[in-house]
Amino acid sequence: MPLNTYSPSTMTRSLAKHVKVVEVGPRDGLQNESGPMLHASVKANLIDQLAAAGLTHIEVAAFVHPKWVPQMANSAQVLQLITRHKHVSYSALTPNMKGLERAIEAGVDEVAVFGAASESFSQRNTNCSIAQALERFEPVAKVALDAGLKVRGYVSVVVDCPYEGPVSPSMVADVAEQLIDMGCYEVSLGDTIGTATPGRMLEMVNVVSQHVPVGQLAGHCHNTYGQALANVLMLLEAGITTFDSSVAGLGGCPYAKGASGNLATEDLAYMLHGLGIKTGIHLDRLVRVGQNISDLLGRTNGSNAGQALNGQAC
C-alpha cells in the first residue's frame, strides 16, 4: 500500500489524532438503489464485513415509511441477521414515534432523527415543516434516551437546497441547536447534494459552532461535485472529528435528484491515515468489502482509493 504521509504539524491548525468514522453505506447508500430491494441477508453480510474491517459506528437501517423508501422495508430483518460485535454501535433512522417503536423492537443501539435547514426539503423528505419535524423529534429523543439509546441528529441541506438554492447558516445553526437541546449527543451536518465548496462549508460551520460546540458536530459530505474530501479537510481544520462516509461511495438521496453517494469510506480512510490520523479502519479489508458490494450491485466502484488499491496486492 502506498504511503502518502503529510505531517499534521504543517497544517494551519494541529489536526486530531483520531477521527470517528460513521459508516452510512448500508442506509444512505442502499436506500437509493433503484432495483428490487436487496435481500436482508445481503445487507447483513455487508454490515458484518464492515464491522470486520474496523468500522465501529454503522448506520444499518431506516425505520421510515416503506412506501417512501422501499429499499429500507426489510430493516428489522437486517438487524436480526447481523452478527453483533460488542465494539460496534448499530444505528437506524427514526423520523417519528412509529419509527422509534419499530427500531426499539428491532434492537438498535442508537437512533437518528433527521431534520433539514430548508422548508422545501423538509416537506419533500418528511412531509412536514421544519418546526413540525422538530416537534415530532422531541418525544422520539425522550423515549429513546429513557430506553438507554443514544440519539444522533442530522441537519440536511446545510449549504444548498435542491429546491431553494443557498441556505442561510443561521437556519442550520438554529436547527442544530434545537437537536442538541432535545438530547442529541451529536449533529451531523449534511451537504445533501454535494455542491458545497470548502469556503462555504467553513462559513457555515463558523456560524453553527457559535451555537453548538464543535466537538458535537459531524460532517456528512456527499461527493456529487467531487468536493467531499476537500470539505472534510476544511472541517477537520475547523475542529470537527467525526465524519460520515459510505463504502464504495454508495448512495445518494431519494429526495435530492442528481445527488450522488457520500464520500467513499476508503477515500476518507486513505486521506486520514495519510495525515497520520487513526480511524481503526483496516483499509485493505475495507477495499475488498467495497469491491464486493460494487460487483454485487453491478456498479463501478465509487471509491478512487478502492479502485487504485484493488489493482494492487493490498
* Residues noted as catalytic: 253
Q: Which lies closer to ligand HMG via its Cβ, residue 134 or residue 253?
A: 253
Report which residue's Cβ sits closest to ligand HMG.
Answer: 190
**Piece in contact with Mg ion (CB under 5 A), picked from 26-34, 69-77, 85-93, 94-102:** 26-34
**Piece in contact with Mg ion (CB under 5 A), picked from 24-32, 100-108, 116-124, 165-173:** 24-32
Q: Nearest-CA neighbor of 237 among 206, 279, 267?
A: 206
Q: Closest separation between CB of residue 185 and ligand HMG, Å?
A: 16
- Give the span between the Cα atoms of 62 and 282, in whole angstroms: 26
Q: Which lies closer to ligand HMG via its Cβ, residue 68 or residue 314?
A: 68
Interface residue list for ligand HMG (CB under 6 A): 28, 31, 62-65, 68-69, 93, 95-96, 98-99, 114, 125-127, 154, 156, 190, 192, 220, 222, 253-255
Q: Closest separation between CB of residue 43 and ligand HMG, Å?
A: 16
32 binds, among ligand HMG, Mg ion, none (CB under 5 to 8 A by kind): none
Q: Which lies closer to Mg ion via its Cβ, residue 28 or residue 267?
A: 28
Please report which residue ranges of the chain form alpha helices under DSSP H.
40-52, 75-81, 97-106, 119-126, 130-146, 169-181, 198-208, 228-237, 265-274, 283-297, 304-310
Q: Nearest-CA neighbor of 75 among 46, 108, 112, 109?
A: 108
Find all residues with CB under 8 Å of 266, minimum gap 6, and list them.
247, 248, 283, 286, 287, 290, 303, 305, 306, 309
Q: How many residues does the chain have?
A: 314
Q: Which lies closer to ligand HMG via its Cβ, residue 98 or residue 299?
A: 98
Q: Please identify which residue in 22, 23, 27, 28 interacts with Mg ion, judged by CB under 5 A.
A: 28
Q: Which lies closer to Mg ion via its Cβ, residue 28 or residue 186?
A: 28
Q: Closest separation between CB of residue 127 and ligand HMG, Å?
A: 4
125 binds, among Mg ion, ligand HMG, none (CB under 5 to 8 A by kind): ligand HMG
Q: Which lies closer to ligand HMG via its Cβ, residue 22 or residue 271?
A: 22
Instruction: Tell me the residue type at 121.
Output: F
DSSP for 49-65, please give it: HHHHTT--EEEEEE-S-
Does residue 160 touch Mg ion according to CB under 5 A?
Answer: no
Instruction: Give me the phi and psi of 244, to 5 degrees please.
Output: -95, 145
64 binds, among ligand HMG, Mg ion, none (CB under 5 to 8 A by kind): ligand HMG
- Give the span between the Cα atoms of 287 and 1, in whole angstroms: 11
Instruction: Give me the phi and psi of 174, to 5 degrees please.
Output: -65, -45
25 within 8 A of 281, measured Cβ to Cβ? no
98 binds, among ligand HMG, Mg ion, none (CB under 5 to 8 A by kind): ligand HMG
- Give the span between the Cα atoms of 305 and 216, in whole angstroms: 29
245 binds, among Mg ion, ligand HMG, none (CB under 5 to 8 A by kind): none
- 266 to each of 61, 216, 239, 270, how far by Cα in Å? 21, 24, 22, 6
Q: Closest separation between CB of residue 179 and ligand HMG, Å?
A: 12
By CB under 5 A, name the binding residues for Mg ion: 28
